[in-house]
Structure 1
Amino acid sequence: MPFCDKGHLIQLVMSPGCIVCGKKEISKTLSLCLECIRRGEGRDTHLKRAHEVARRGFPLPPDLPRDPDGVKCNLCSNECQIGEGEKGYCGLRENVRGRLISKVSSDAALACTYLDPLPTNCCAAWFCPESSEKGYNLATFFYGCNFDCLFCQNASHKLIDEAPGITIDRFVKEVESTRGIRCICYFGGSPEPQLPFAIRASERVIEERDDVRICWEWNGCGDPGLVMRAAELSFKSGGIIKFDLKAFNQNLSIALSGVSNKRAYENFEMIASSFERVDLLTATTPLIPWYIDAEEVEAIAGFIAGINPDIPYSLLVFHPTFYMSDMPITPRRQVEECYRAAKRHLKRVNIGNKHLLWL
């Protein structure tokens, strides 16, 4: 049964196969096969309910707020229209008597940090020059996310009411006082809902130290203006921006992550066209069994190659987790097919989480 971070186990109504065509190779949580999802089957019924169930037990709205009279939030591509007494999709902002009240700001975040010794296992380690250096990555884990991935590997970010807080002064002091810090990696959740804090903190860090790289691991669906400011910090400091291009087909993105990731592709192209450094950008795609196939990977790789075929791209072997815990580890055949598809377009393709193939 699917796992819930609150400690509850929720029994879903299971179907013996795809509810449309009967195909057996499906996620029981989704109840639909890849081809039916691509065609848009069940998008507003079964798939919507799957995400509603996955968000139960957390301080999160069941679906994207779309109140025409609500207060609008523009921090990410969701552009929530939050009704009176409602929260935004990320759970960090609420409409209180017509005003948008936030649990976070440019001065304070809901996040925790820890020192990750270098070389680390980040998704860019296979080509990042930092991976050969000694010191620490200040891993900065943000609570809250503008996605709702059913395969989320860091689902504790949804526990917003239990999240630790950190001020910008404390964060900057930690970087300044720990000389061994060589890079800062913002992840989560995803940084988008807390980009004002991360950007301001990074600006202050760079003012004090010229030996710290600013890196991002995000879904990429933030406000373009904020995303560009974040990219400038990475370009200036020698850091890396990693996009999770989880799917290419938009119906599939909504099925797996609750929302469209169209903005991620727009922001990826925006950054690539604005900076000449090839190693500034990288992308990853989790190879979810039965859903992220060679066709999907070829479309993503083709998009990246259309910008620059030298951009590094990683295919991540999937392991069962959260509401897709009934799934298998990515079969070796799928990994090989997806790798060949990516290599038809890109010069630098990596397979991440290889150790899982031996389990």
Structure 2
Amino acid sequence: MSYTCPYCHHHCTLQEGKTGFCRARTLKDGKNVCGNYGFLTSLALDPIEKKPLNRFYPGTTILSLGSYGCNLRCPFCQNFSISQNGRDAFQPVIARPEQIAAKALELKNRNNIGVAFTYNEPLLSWEFIRDTGELVHSKGQKNVVVTNGNFSVEIAKSLGGIVDAYNIDLKGFTPEWYKKLGGDLEMVKAFITEACKTAHVELTTLIVPKENDSPEEMEAIAQWIAGLSPDIPLHVSKFFPRWNMVDRNETPAARVYRLADVARNYLKYVYTGNC
């Protein structure tokens, strides 16, 4: 028996007990499930600005957790040790939704406002976000998702009213660049559009030399975002050589600042990162 996964553009054919491209979705008893449900590889109390979210409860902290797997293959990934591995690379640390929600509430005395699903690609286990998020809300706290956004709009709709804020990567604005990363630009744009209907959304563009660092591309990005709303914050971030992309130098800070200025012609809130 096999099953075609509908959640991103890869449309993997899942076999019983085997994972797809993302190393997380699998077929179990004929059902498409997330093999990393509640499986934690990372847990930290972070400043909300680290997500980055600059206009969502600034000055607070958030309990941040990650698992394993990703449906992209960005060669510069900073978290490749968890995003580009599967379950067998880790010792099992399983947390139930009620444990996460209780821990988040316990940390309220440290200015914690809720839970952030982050570090790897959290939407691979969107069911865990849903189940945990409902409990987090029941305790009066917030849910944040940091994602590449390379998912169907059905996922965004399923999490409508559960996710309070997203930071979504908009990695560039050409199909060619997204293809190099293993993604699909149009799918990301559609996800962002849907997410904006139900949640606070901030976007991040990592400026990679020789790939997406032209003023023309930044202008196209900013114009498109402004078409949704000029109030959507954009984080323009500096690239550092990582993992499989060490063939070029870090992005000059001056270029990041210059591209941020281009974006400010269209957007009210533009921030620079890693500079």
Whether these two folds match at TM > 0.5 is yes
Gaps of 5+ in 1: 1-68, 355-359
Kept after mapping to 1: 8 A contact 2:42/2:119: no
Q: How does 1:127-166 map to 2 (within 5 A)?
A: 127-128=55-56, 130-133=57-60, 136-157=61-82, 158-160=84-86, 161-163=88-90, 164-166=93-95
Residue type at the aligned position of 2:133: S
Deviates more, 1:333-342 or 1:289-298: 333-342
Residue type at the aligned position of 1:328: N
Partner of residue 23, structure 1? none
Mapped to 2, the partners of 1:118 and 1:252 lie a distance apart of 31
Mapped to 2, the partners of 1:261 and 1:142 lie a distance apart of 24
Gaps of 5+ in 2: none
Partner of residue 244, structure 2? 323
- The secondary structure found in structure 1 opposite 2:145 is strand
Mapped to 1, the partners of 2:43 and 2:73 lie a distance apart of 25
- The secondary structure found in structure 2 opposite 1:233 is coil
The size of the alignment, in residue pairs, is 268
Query: Higher Cα Rg: structure 1 or 2?
Result: 1
Please identify runs of 4+ aligned residues in structure 1 that moved more than 6 A: none
Q: How does 1:184-333 map to 2 (within 5 A)?
A: 184-207=115-138, 209-210=139-140, 212-234=141-163, 239-255=164-180, 257-272=181-196, 274-275=197-198, 280-293=200-213, 294-333=215-254
Identity rate, percent: 23
Using a 3 Å threshold, how does the CA distance of structure 1 residues 179 and 351 change in structure 2: closer, same or farther? Answer: closer
Kept after mapping to 1: 8 A contact 2:38/2:94: yes
Partner of residue 18, structure 1? none
Mapped to 2, the partners of 1:93 and 1:150 lie a distance apart of 22
Deviations 1:194-251 (A, max 9, x none): 11111111101211x11x22111101122323212324223xxxx4211100021111
Kept after mapping to 2: 8 A contact 1:111/1:165: yes
Deviations 1:271-329 (A, max 9, x none): 33x34x7xx11101000011112222221111101111121111001111010123211
TM-score by length of structure 2 reads 0.87
Residue type at the aligned position of 2:114: C
TM-score by length of structure 1 reads 0.68
- The alignment status of 1:346 with 2:270, answered yes or no, reads no
Mapped to 1, the partners of 2:128 and 2:21 lie a distance apart of 19
Kept after mapping to 2: 8 A contact 1:247/1:285: yes
Using a 3 Å threshold, how does the CA distance of structure 1 residues 101 and 162 change in structure 2: closer, same or farther? Answer: farther
